[in-house]
Structure 1
Amino acid sequence: MTMTDLIEAARVSKAWPFQEAQRLLKRYPDGAKPDGSPILFETGYGPSGLPHIGTFQEVLRTTLVRRAFEALIGAKPEDGKTRLVAFSDDMDGLRKVPDNIPNAHILEENLHKPLSRIPDPFEKGHESFAAHNNAKLREFLDRFGFHYEFIAANDMYNSGRFDDALRQVLRKNQDILDIMLPTLREERRQTYSPILPISPTTGRVLQVPVEVVDAEAGLIRFTDEDGATVEQSALGGMSKLQWKVDWAMRWYALGVDYEMYGKDLTDSGVQSGKIVKVLGGRKPEGLIYEMFLDENGEKISKSKGNGLTIEEWLTYGSEDSLGFYIFPNPKSAKQLHVGVIPRAVDDYWQFRERLAEQPLDKQLGNPVWHLERANGGFEGSEAPGAGDSLPVTYGLLLNLVSVLGAEAERDAVWSYLGNYVENADPAAHPKLDELVSTALAYNRDFVAPHLVKRAPTETEAAALRALDDFLAKAPADMSAEDLQTEVYEIGKREEFGFENLRDWFKALYQTLLGSDQGPRMGSFIALYGIENSRKLIAEALDRA
């Protein structure tokens, strides 16, 4: 595949990252800004809490669009045609003390001060609460190999690099008020100001009316918390901006071309878009994505604690599967709970195995193509992961581990894998070995505590005896396909009265595995071993 082939295929691809990248190409038909500077992608982070899956998905999805745009213009990541900025709004005032933070009294004593000017309650040697969380963000992004530039609001405000943009906000103060005041409740209008001064006496971010005294000099006037009238500069870190104004100012100051955001910020995006136009800038391109839901279909909330953390996903699944699960249509809500992990792992590997044999247009619609390319690991000359495959499905691995019980260990699992996997050595199958560990954890925490194997009915017991009779005569090395064929044949026998094969397999799953769903039984029997499988049947018949 040549670069020309890739460009042509990318320009007609219906995959959502390419559709988003096409919007950027309409913004800059030549594939570059008029001044030759890189196309700027941005993601935002509020460091009042630690980074989470929401942070991950926004950086990942933005990266996918960034790489898709590079493909459209025939650029490589190292060409420097694009930039990705991870921006931390660490000048924001702390509104409330987050849950599960050590030394909460430190935060309580510093409420409403900028996050970057509050001592670190974690006491890890960072200069502030925000610095601690910013470090965690960078550690988190680096862990997943994202290519980005980190920018903190604290540095931009304090160094004066935002001063020119702040002067423009002061010049346009009334125009911004005209945009914002109609959107506010009457009570809020009385105190609203685009500029939030920082009190010279308490160091807090103040929500008070502000008079612009001299926009060019950056001078403002306001009433401090002690009732005194104060004139001071709004520049050099002595003020910050209201959220929607701050967002627009950032777009204007940095020249942001693309930023996506959640559905909950739809109205903010509208107002900030109007404000950046008043400032003389242009609203970035970007999509509005749907939020994650819990297993009950309710919106995930940090305060409710009904979400799923990155650490939890990686305890029970793989990094690849997390990106794969997040990839499909960002405009559709997704349930995010541990129950979706096993399917995500297996679906990822199915798409990965398929990729090498697909024509180019199908590759560009395959999530794995985008995930491999996301951080520069694949330039498009050949399909990534060619020949890669998982020798057993994660679902089958979970069934094996559940049968072995809550006390199963890694070495025991690998001894059974020797029945099914050629060269069953963890060193030869590192990806599978990772999944052995996650399967053990998943079984321990979610399967074993609730495992119930029901007793078979009379006709089910008769079918199980027939299966046992067959296995008693079968050679120990019978293939999974031959075993599967015989399982089918037994289920189709009229004497056992199954209306369809689905009922037969459901009986096998519920009586032998304690589950409503399960693997191809031929594969399971080959993996677990014929004699061990006969023991499972005997235990089920004892319950009849």
Structure 2
Amino acid sequence: MSNATQLRAAALDSLRAAAQDNKAWPYEEARKVIARYPTGFPDSGVLFETGYGPSGLPHIGTFGEVVRTTMVRRAFETMAPGVKTRLIAFSDDMDGLRKVPDGIPNPELLRANLGKPLTQVPDPFGTHSSFGAHNNARLQAFLDGFGFDYEFLSSTACYQAGRFDAVLRRILEHYDAVINVILPTLGPDRRATYSPFLPIDPVTGIVLQVPIVDRDVAAGTISYQRPETGETVTVPVTGGACKLQWKVDWAMRWVALGVDYEMAGKDLIDSVLLSGRVARVLGAEPPAGFNYELFLDAEGQKISKSKGNGLTIEQWLDYGPPESLALYMFQNPRKAKRLHFDVIPRAIDEYADFLGKYPDQPVEQQLGNPVHHIHEGTPPATDLPISFSLLLNLASVAATDDPAKLWAYVARQAPGTSPETHAELDRLVHHAARYARDFVVPGLQRRAPDAREAAALADLDARLAAVGPGADAEAYQFEVYEAGKAAGFDNLRDWFKALYETLIGSSQGPRMGSFIALYGLEQTRALIRTALAKDG
């Protein structure tokens, strides 16, 4: 064995040992999966799953669930090296279409096919064989765009190919035990007609929610009365002739596929428990997992796709890189968090901060660093001489959304940088220009300084002139402090706030020394003169 190989093996052993008791939540979740196999893992490996309802398009919650599950999967691979893992992205595309989604072309085409499985509803976009196939393709393109490693499974394909048949017959065999799990959660009317099996009518093609009038376990069939005619119809429970009510369907899928891990939103806590009980009725242990909290809008209300009160993934990626979104998903998954435009800048700067700290951290801290999980253990090297918040302030004060103009300032502050040599910084410059244009500049309102503030600004102007252009940020920052202290600001935060409000137009802002170095000495002095003119 070569020295390089030995060093690599030693590093992996060290990583594995450190992961065993690491407190980062992906490792805590991975330990749940390991605990399922105290005597050893199966040759088939371990299966992780995420689910998707294809009646609509993929959204930011879809990304969150897949990226978080991937983090748990990679944590497991660190702790159990050599064990095969797979991630399934499962589409519930056999669900009946309940309503016509907003913003869809040719809505009358969907309206005429309400109740049918999504894979039997014509595609209103005219690009795929069905509405379900269209949205499945969008899901896969969405996941592929982020580079996720997954296997796609279609509910329709699994039902029709017989992949679920054995467990479907087991549900028929244990019919009473299964419905006794669900019935106590239903109202009286629904309880009287409930069946876990939803036959797909051979004539209309509609997924029916009807009482079952007869069951033949040996033949593997159920019978129901067609609502329109009262005719008794007998269909097999296998081969795609029926589908299951979703809580039983979820349990069936866990059992049939052998799912070891699946997380779900807090709103599905009761459903997870019920599906877990059904899985046990079928003789299987439900998967490990946890319930993540939901996202809130700017007013603290639950985000709803129908209300449109949230932030779309396209909007986030217009103003920030995908790594910042992954960081947002990593942090505090069990805590309800606001998902609004104003969280993006902080996420970007926090990501850069975590990335910068990573190389110098001991392995125990690296495993808890979010970038370790975002980049699957191999974070890239970073060279960001300017923070995103500082770029935002620059774009706001310069009143430009032209990245080329912003680069003129950046290159002066950080010689040797350019869009060609610093692609990551260039990406942030573009994000900052758009964000400042849309969210910062419209709200800026510079106020006039009071008498003490005006005197302090005049003093600062003289101090900066004495320092001269080309000084570093610390030299300018020193003079900012000195001017505030000379003006008698007992709490220098009040002085900084005055600078932000009179020079920039916001109650918060950057470290002034860094801003002056970036924006330019003469440009900053021009801001001071403009503020003093208001005082006059």
TM-score by length of 2: 0.96
Query: In percent, how many aligned pairs have the same letter?
Result: 56
SS in 2 for 1:44: strand
Aligned pairs for 1:232-271 (under 5 A) are 232-271=235-274
Aligned pairs for 1:292-307 (under 5 A) are 292-307=295-310
How far apart are 1:61 and its partner, in Å? 0.8
How far apart are 1:442 and its partner, in Å? 0.7
CA contact (8 A) 1:395 1:519 kept: yes
SS in 2 for 1:87: strand
Q: Structure 1 counterpart of 2:461, which letter?
A: D
Pick from 499, 502, 505 the counterpart of residue 508 of structure 1.
499
Q: Structure 2 counterpart of 1:343, which letter?
A: R
Q: Deviations over 1:407-452 (max 9, x none)?
A: 4311100011122112131011101111111111111111122221
**1:393 equivalenced with 2:372 (yes/no):** no
How far apart are 1:520 and its partner, in Å? 0.7
SS in 2 for 1:419: helix
Q: Structure 1 counterpart of 2:479, which letter?
A: E
Q: Structure 2 counterpart of 1:401, which letter?
A: A
Pick from 410, 416, 440 the counterpart of residue 403 of structure 2.
410
Pick from 19, 24, 27 the counterpart of residue 15 of structure 1.
24
* Aligned residue number for residue 423 of structure 1: 416
Distance in 1 separating the partners of 2:401 and 2:278: 60
How far apart are 1:492 and its partner, in Å? 1.1
**1:40 equivalenced with 2:47 (yes/no):** yes
How far apart are 1:499 and its partner, in Å? 2.9
Distance in 2 separating the partners of 1:211 and 1:179: 20
Aligned pairs for 1:446-457 (under 5 A) are 446-457=439-450
Aligned pairs for 1:525-544 (under 5 A) are 525-544=516-535
Distance in 2 separating the partners of 1:230 and 1:467: 88
**1:384 equivalenced with 2:376 (yes/no):** no
CA contact (8 A) 1:212 1:220 kept: yes
Distance in 2 separating the partners of 1:408 and 1:245: 53
SS in 2 for 1:527: helix
* Aligned residue number for residue 80 of structure 2: 73
Distance in 2 separating the partners of 1:499 and 1:94: 66
Distance in 2 separating the partners of 1:122 and 1:294: 30
Aligned pairs for 1:318-329 (under 5 A) are 318-329=321-332
**1:191 equivalenced with 2:193 (yes/no):** yes
Q: Deviations over 1:366-411 (max 9, x none)?
A: 00011111xxxx4xxxx6334x131100000000000111x43111
Distance in 2 separating the partners of 1:543 and 1:212: 86
Distance in 2 separating the partners of 1:325 and 1:61: 11
SS in 2 for 1:517: coil
SS in 2 for 1:85: strand
CA-atom RMSD in angstroms: 1.3
Q: Structure 2 counterpart of 1:27, which letter?
A: R
Distance in 2 separating the partners of 1:408 and 1:181: 59
* Aligned residue number for residue 466 of structure 1: 459
Q: Structure 1 counterpart of 2:56, which letter?
A: G
How far apart are 1:29 and its partner, in Å? 2.9
**1:337 equivalenced with 2:344 (yes/no):** no
CA contact (8 A) 1:352 1:389 kept: no
Q: Number of aligned residue pairs: give it.
A: 525
SS in 1 for 2:222: strand
Aligned pairs for 1:30-179 (under 5 A) are 32-33=41-42, 36-75=43-82, 81-123=84-126, 125-179=127-181
Distance in 2 separating the partners of 1:21 and 1:228: 52
Distance in 2 separating the partners of 1:364 and 1:211: 57
CA contact (8 A) 1:32 1:81 kept: no
In structure 1, stretches of 5+ residues that fail to align are none
Pick from 486, 490, 502 the counterpart of residue 479 of structure 2.
486
SS in 2 for 1:86: strand
SS in 1 for 2:343: helix
Distance in 2 separating the partners of 1:30 and 1:128: 45
How far apart are 1:8 and its partner, in Å? 0.9
SS in 1 for 2:306: coil
In structure 2, stretches of 5+ residues that fail to align are 1-9
Distance in 1 separating the partners of 2:471 and 2:332: 43
Distance in 2 separating the partners of 1:336 and 1:31: 41
Q: Deviations over 1:216-242 (max 9, x none)?
A: 432110011322211122221111000
- Greater displacement, 358-367 / 442-451: 442-451
- Greater displacement, 129-138 / 392-401: 129-138
Distance 1:340 1:31, change over 3 A: farther
CA contact (8 A) 2:401 2:434 kept: no
Query: Which structure 1 residue ranges, 4+ long, deviate > 3 Å from structure 2?
Result: none
Distance in 2 separating the partners of 1:232 and 1:526: 77
- Greater displacement, 167-176 / 249-258: 167-176
SS in 1 for 2:474: helix
Pick from 280, 289, 293 the counterpart of residue 290 of structure 1.
293
Distance in 2 separating the partners of 1:208 and 1:518: 62
SS in 2 for 1:427: coil
CA contact (8 A) 1:165 1:253 kept: yes
* Aligned residue number for residue 3 of structure 2: none
Distance in 2 separating the partners of 1:318 and 1:454: 33
How far apart are 1:74 and its partner, in Å? 2.5
- Greater displacement, 193-202 / 466-475: 466-475
SS in 1 for 2:48: strand
Distance in 2 separating the partners of 1:31 and 1:83: 17
Distance in 1 separating the partners of 2:116 and 2:314: 30
* Aligned residue number for residue 519 of structure 1: 510
Q: Deviations over 1:304-357 (max 9, x none)?
A: 111111100001111110001110221111110010000100000000000000
Distance in 2 separating the partners of 1:408 and 1:398: 10
Distance 1:254 1:396, change over 3 A: same
Distance in 2 separating the partners of 1:166 and 1:97: 30
